[in-house]
Amino acid sequence: MKFIAHRGNLKGRVPERENAPDYIDEAIAAGFDVEVDVWKTDDKYFLGHDDADHEIDLIWLLERSENLWCHAKNLDALHDMIHYPKLNVFWHQEDDYTMTTHNFIWTYPECNIKEFSYRQIILLFDWMCDEIKIPHGGICSDEIILYKNKYN
């Protein structure tokens, strides 16, 4: 099972640090994959949820590609990142499901969950912890340590 830190969060939301490169690196160093929000504007890459806040470069993404789940936040980011097979990229707004470029089903909270689907990633909030009874392919959460402790 994959345990994915949503925007780098491990034990709850820390909005001022979300998507910051050093915060992402801390989550990776702690043994987690990380969902990051990626923008591309004026041929530059940025991390940030609502805005392009933290400038990075393509090398930064590629060096961490084994641990990153890249949520393209604009069409330029999506169009460019899909040309790099090492990057696991997806786009969604509030779709129930979307596919990543590495063939995982990214599942929005409270949507139908297929039991035993090892390719399904579930986006969960901390209050949902007791609702999930069967481990799936992976969980993405702001409280990812909570889930890792539950399933290990």
CA gap 16, 93 in Å, rounded: 22
> What is the model's pLDDT at position 133?
56
CA distance 1 to 120: 10
Distance (Å, rounded) from C-alpha 47 to C-alpha 123?
19
Q: What integer pLDDT is reported at residue 152 of this predicted model?
A: 75
pLDDT for 125 equals 73
Contact between 4 and 140 (Cβ < 8 Å): yes
Residuewise pLDDT in 10s, the chain (152 residues): 899 999 999 999 999 999 999 999 999 999 999 999 999 999 999 999 999 999 999 999 999 999 999 999 999 999 999 999 999 999 998 788 999 999 999 988 777 776 667 889 988 876 555 566 555 789 999 999 988 988 87
| Residue 72: per-residue pLDDT | 98
* pLDDT value of residue 141: 94
